[in-house]
Amino acid sequence: MDIKKLTIASLHEGLIAKDFSAREVTQEYVKAIDANDKNVGAYLTRMNDAAIAAAAEVDAAIAAGKELSPLAGVPLAVKDNMLIKGVTATSASKMLEHYEAAYDATVIEKLKFERAVFLGKTNLDEFAMGSSTENSAFHVTKNPHDGTRVAGGSSGGSAAAVAAGMALAGLGSDTGGSIRQPAAFCGVVGMKPTYGTVSRFGLTAMASSLDQIGPFTKTVEDAKILFHAIKGKDVHDATSIDVVMKPFHYAPKKEDIKKLKIGIPKEYFIEGIDPAVTKGVEEAITKLKKLGFTFKEVSLPHTKYALSVYYIIMPAEVSTNLARLDGIRYSRDVKGAKKLNELYLKNRAHGFGPETRRRVLLGTFVLSSGYYDAYYAKAQKVRRLIKQDFDEAFKEVDVILSPVTPTPAFKIGEKTSDPLSMYLSDIFTIPAPLAGIPAISIPVKKYTVGSGELPVAFQLMGKHFHEADILGIGEMYEEE
């Protein structure tokens, strides 16, 4: 059995045909993690016993003749900012190093109902703050295609696990590009759904108006299966929405998909993009044109402000969400403090890493008296203009195509001393969450970069709740 060739769809077919058992598949993935993760560093917590026990239950269900979900027996990697009952949920921070989840996140609850198998919790930038997974308090995750380069972030662990064959699929969270950017760097599919379509209950909040859970997979078809399993209204999340969507088995006709018009935003094709990225995106456009898709240039004029808006709104929400982490209620307790304020200061100084502290301070500043109107209120107004740009563009086209990142995966340590340079790696992914629209990163192929080859991807962005459009085009591209 070659687990690297398995997809969610082919695993399901193999289990039904009894070509292999769920237990055998899970054991193969456990072996793969044992052999490879010391070089990649994708996982923070392993769940070997629980995974094998869950796989055995799937085999028992098959033997009993029960109907199986497409996700039954599928070995998954879960970003370590999502709660799995009884398992540590560190968010890659010393502040939560020993915190054990008391309940399941809604997405985990749904996947348990589908009989999915959880292999473990994966590494990330601390509290999902970063673009390289170098900000983890525990270790750096390396790119499986080149160990000297980053896996991307903040969901680098899940992306690397899928790319390295150490999980069949995975879950990440996307705030400004934290699914799509590492997916592009690692050469896998990564999807950010429309804001509100997937419950955030049980996700450690970073920026509540932007965070969204989504899948990492090998194929667009697999992303569709996993997305439809986790979507839906949740009574525990007031921002979740119950939207009528096509079920996972719905297959739109190719002639209907081909009627979708694809927009090319002129503001996204700028100087400074790496030639390999430009070549990859141009190749994707050429293939889609051969498939019969029509293209039209569109304008998103306020895109140039997206990065600035994001780095005002996001830190403001970060400072609010992390205020509850004082080191008293979540297991960290620094000794020697004689006063309450001293206890808070010591716990937060020792518990939070440099990037987290930077964003908390920035967020506190933009929300402070005298600066709220000058920064935060103004950023919210510009955010509205960014959304209006997309609304206007979608009157002319159905889907928008762009690069995912300006460059392929960069070297480990290359940008750590220059936070602004690091933030620019998300310049093409940030507008989608600001507008709340769905977006997906789809790999093109590897291109020569330096002395090796690295993956390159393109991005499709769709109208609110029109995941079927970007998934449909993505599936046709993959088939071609």
How do residues 57-73 score in pLDDT, each as one tens digit?
A: 999 999 999 999 999 99
Which has the higher per-residue pLDDT, 53 or 448? 53
Prediction pTM value: 0.96
Count of other CB atoms within 10 angstroms of residue 124? 33
Q: 261 catalytic, yes or no? A: no
Question: Quick check: 261 pLDDT over 60?
Answer: yes
pLDDT digits (tens, 9 = 90+) for 344-370: 888 898 899 999 999 999 999 999 999
Angle at 443 between CA 243 and CA 261, to 5 degrees: 55
Q: In the predicted model, what is the mean pLDDT of residues 326-330? A: 80
For residue 73, which phi and psi values (nearest 5 degrees)?
A: 80, 0
Please give the pLDDT value at position 421.
87
- The catalytic position among 21, 69, 132, 154 is 154
* Confidence at 157, pLDDT banded by 50, 70, 90: very high
Q: Considering the chain, what is the average pLDDT of its residues?
A: 95
- The catalytic position among 178, 199, 240, 441 is 178
Name the nearest CA neighbour of 110 among 201, 175, 49, 23. 201
- What the block records as the tokens of 472 is 């449909």
Q: 319 catalytic, yes or no? A: no
Cα–Cα distance between 348 and 436 in angstroms, integer?
A: 32
Which has the higher per-residue pLDDT, 417 or 172? 172
Please give the share of the chain, as a percent, with pLDDT higher than 90. 86
Please give the pLDDT value at position 248.
42
Cα–Cα distance between 77 and 348 in angstroms, integer?
A: 29
- The catalytic position among 69, 79, 173, 218 is 79
Please give the share of the chain, as a percent, with pLDDT higher than 70. 98
Q: Identify the bridge partners of residue 402 per DSSP, sorted by sequence position.
A: 459
Question: Quick check: 250 pLDDT over 60?
Answer: no
pLDDT digits (tens, 9 = 90+) for 385-403: 999 999 999 999 999 999 9
Could you give all domains of the chain from N- to C-terminal order, each with its CATH number?
A: 1-480 (3.90.1300.10)
* Confidence at 249, pLDDT banded by 50, 70, 90: very low
Question: Quick check: 247 pLDDT over 70?
Answer: no
Q: 79 catalytic, yes or no? A: yes
pLDDT digits (tens, 9 = 90+) for 85-119: 999 999 999 999 999 999 999 999 999 999 999 99
Per-residue burial over 180-218, b if 16 or more Cβ lie within 10 Å, else e, is bbbbbbbbbbbbbbbbbbbbbbbbbbbbebbbbbbbbbb
